[in-house]
Chains A and B, each alone.
Chain A
């Protein structure tokens, strides 16, 4: 099953009771944030569609929490909605290796260009923008794709980048783009500024769910998010060419904002409530001037509540953070079984691994700390035995409680890179690594003699049988 547009995915979510239509009158502030953050704390958090918005014409629609639950995530991956997080992890890990099978296809008269607006652009009146957290510095786009090309290789499709960055709409036709220098989109902007070029930038809102997940994943510089998305969809990913540039955008985007970078200037932006659950300070960032808006008929405005966890951001980015770390560890450490870096973008990473020899748990932890993502993000690294499921906190706590010798297994490496938005890094970007080795010591390391209780015979078969009995 493939979801080439947001609408077909929402239909499926509704069918599965994973979508709520909220029809009461809402004010953009504070109601959008209240509805979405409250929904996140329901069991199997639902997507919420709101279409009765103060000040907007009837029919203007906001949708949020599209990637909120693990059930929605499973459906997006084409799996049974009850697939466990662990099963979803392995499904994603398997597809990760099939990048070369990805392909794209261009549509003539794409849905995202059904309506074209080039005059009197006022984003505040054309989009139901809202302040996400109360003390944000303005109205933000929290789940929009930013599409840019490498200005030195404008015809290299694989170097085109699709990323989700925070975007503040600062003036009727001006957006502020907050992209980290080490992200591919940041690299493109910097190359454009070396050339003093007002390069085109496209911003897409309301996109097929899989491309949002891929845009949030740390792919290699020359790997196309669109091709990756097509591997998961099992068919070519549908694209459109922007009207005013060579940029490629999802053909079924609900809205596309076409604009240009203002090169070599910086503008005050922020603060913004971020995924650690704290406000990140203000900065000076890029401006992009919007010169055209295209959209589908009856477009849906998609937003994402980010703030005090757990939010949609955590689910959206969880497995696409965990899987690449797993792949990078596996390259040299085949003993690694599974990685859970789902908490706050991997600030804590839990790795399950078999041990090659004594002390190997710590070796694996140090490798986590040197992966591209782990260098700055993974600050608490917990290593558990290969037969412990890192997604099952009952098992992880058991490992911590019965394996950790504080004098030997707990290590702090001081003054390492940290992630700037983590409020404990001080100065921002400088932190520490905490390693907790909760594996069972392997020769020549040893602990006193004891015998583990064996796994109960026939456990798996019996569990399945009982599940079936209950299901009747």
Chain B
């Protein structure tokens, strides 16, 4: 399914309400690691209404840096 943030087709249902009430479902994205619950505000769950400042494109994702550099392997 489609990720509401990066618009990839890499999202999946990761969880549902543990009381089995069906109150909510939670989705995760394998591309951008976003997570959202079906019951959140419209400007989170509805792609059309989301704040563009927080949307992701492949270009934006490329620009992100590694917080910790990968060290050289010990010989």
Measured CB to CB, the residues of A under 8 A from B are: 27-30, 54-57, 122, 124-126, 131, 134-135, 137-139, 168-172, 176, 178-181, 186, 189-190, 193-196, 264, 266-269, 271, 281-286
Find residues 42-63 in chain B having any chain A CB closer than 8 Å to their own CB: 43-44, 51, 53-54, 56, 61
Q: In whole angstroms, what is the CA distance A189 to B24 when docked?
A: 36
12 A-B residue pairings within 8 Å (CB atoms): A29-B44, A56-B19, A57-B19, A124-B15, A125-B16, A125-B18, A131-B37, A134-B43, A137-B34, A180-B67, A181-B69, A268-B31
Inter-chain contacts of B32 with A (CB < 8 A): 137, 268
CB pair B14–A284 under 8 Å, yes or no, is no
Task: Please tell me which one of the listed residues A29, A30, A171, A181 contacts residue B14 in the complex, with CB atoms under 8 A apart.
Answer: A171
Find residues 9-52 in chain B having any chain A CB closer than 8 Å to their own CB: 14-19, 21, 23-24, 26, 28, 30-37, 39-41, 43-44, 51
CB distance from B33 to the nearest CB of A (A): 4
Inter-chain contacts of A172 with B (CB < 8 A): 14-15, 28
CB distance from A87 to the nearest CB of B (A): 38
Closest A-B pairs by Cβ, 10 of them: A55-B17, A124-B15, A138-B35, A55-B23, A170-B33, A125-B18, A283-B67, A284-B66, A29-B40, A194-B71
Inter-chain contacts of B69 with A (CB < 8 A): 181
CB distance from B67 to the nearest CB of A (A): 4
The total of chain B residues at the interface (CB under 8 A) is 41
Inter-chain contacts of B16 with A (CB < 8 A): 125
With A171-B28, A271-B54 as contacts: A56 and B18 at CB distance below 8 Å:
yes
With A29-B41, A134-B44, A172-B14 as contacts: A283 and B65 at CB distance below 8 Å:
yes
Inter-chain contacts of B72 with A (CB < 8 A): 194
CB nearest neighbor in B for A128: B18
Task: Please tell me which one of the listed residues B5, B26, B41, B68 contacts residue A189 in the complex, with CB atoms under 8 A apart.
Answer: B68
CB pair B24–A54 under 8 Å, yes or no, is yes
Task: Please tell me which one of the listed residues B23, B33, B54 contacts residue A176 in the complex, with CB atoms under 8 A apart.
Answer: B33
CB pair B14–A190 under 8 Å, yes or no, is no
Q: In whole angstroms, what is the CA distance A125 to B15 when docked?
A: 6
CB distance from A129 to the nearest CB of B (A): 9
CB pair A55–B74 under 8 Å, yes or no, is no
Q: In whole angstroms, what is the CA distance A181 to B65 when docked?
A: 13
With A171-B28, A181-B68 as contacts: A27 and B39 at CB distance below 8 Å:
yes
